[in-house]
Amino acid sequence: MTVRGRFAPSPSGRMHLGNLLAALLAWLDVRSQGGIMVLRIEDLDPQRCSLNKAEQLVEDLQWLGLDWDEGGLEPEYCQSHRSHHYQVAFDRLEAMGLVYPCYCTRAERLAASAPHASDGAVVYNRRCAQLTQTQRDMLEAQGRRPAFRVRVPHQTVTVDDGHMGPYTQQLDTDCGDFIVRRSDGVWAYQLAVVVDDALMGVNHVVRGCDLLTSTPAQAWLHRTLGYQPPAFYHLPLLVDAQGRRLSKRDRDLDLGVLREKYTPQELVGWLGWLAGLQKEPKSATPRQLISRFQWSKVPKKSIAIGST
């Protein structure tokens, strides 16, 4: 079977070092197996995303020397233009009786939920699942607009991650009923990513470990909608010398700043070294790393980066 992987950047800002590592390894995973690379723009949130930023992302990927075979800025590969696909999936979930409106505010959700043991995320307590139609009508009359949640079963789901190994969650207690459409009408990432990967034929998903905890729910959603879940490969997080996770707040590691300091070959060589593909952080093109790429070389534990 042909490997089909994807870049799925969100144009809410410049990519940071963690995004670059994920992009490079997703590309190497595909190119080392003669696969097809898809570029999808994850611009669901109109408040945070813009076409200008999406164009910058595309230009940044090209600057790094990463290419793709399908997708890009064409509407059919931009989530903001794919509502009709998400609506079809939503309607199917609704027809299965799995969707219900949730009127909770953020404060109510936090107050009424038990913190998730492993990553601090909260598990929704199904407060709104029991509302009667009369109660719903009263809330709507007060001007409350619901988000929509999907009801997960009491089921254990194990994802056999291609890099990290088996990862198991009990869906109802570890994940909880998750939002598929926000109260402002924006489709939730969890629904969009599953629909898009399925409809775009993506069968290899390479991404950061911060998404591992959402993966069992995504695998379940794939199967519930009649799709085959892709193979998942999660990358360790990048951390600073103190072991803190890098984030978009570390502005010195976003590509706008990195491009002022490094050539693409220096940056790719550095990422290749962080990923265990070369012994030194010497310059390299993405193509030069293809023959050196093996998942067994990539660290599983968090990768500490030195000073830039």
| Contacts with Zn ion, residue ranges (CB under 5 A) | 102, 104, 127-128
Which tokens go with 265?
A: 């070959």
Q: Toward Zn ion, which CB reaches closer, 139 or 290?
A: 139
In the bound state with Zn ion, the residue whose beta carbon lies nearer, of 135 and 170, is: 135
Q: Are strands 4-7 and 36-39 parallel, antiparallel or unpaired?
A: parallel
Question: Quick one: 131 or 225, whose CB is closer to Zn ion?
Answer: 131
- Least distance in Å: CB of 256 to Zn ion? 39
Of the candidates 62, 20, 37, 61, the one whose C-alpha atom is nearest the C-alpha of residue 204 is 37
Q: Which CB, 57 or 128, lies closer to Zn ion?
A: 128
122 strand-pairing partners: 115
Q: Which is nearer to Zn ion, 104 or 298 (CB)?
A: 104
CB of 123 to Zn ion, least distance (A): 13
Q: Considering beta carbons, is residue 127 or 136 the nearer one to Zn ion?
A: 127
Nearest distance from residue 124's CB to Zn ion, in Å?
A: 7
The CB-of-102 to Zn ion minimum distance in angstroms stands at: 3
Two structure tokens written together for 29 = 């995973």
135 versus 291: smaller Cβ distance to Zn ion: 135
Closest approach, Cβ 191 to Zn ion, in A, equals 17
Q: Do 258 and 17 touch, CB atoms closer than 8 A? A: yes
CB of 67 to Zn ion, least distance (A): 44
Q: How far is the CB of 131 from Zn ion (least distance, A)?
A: 8
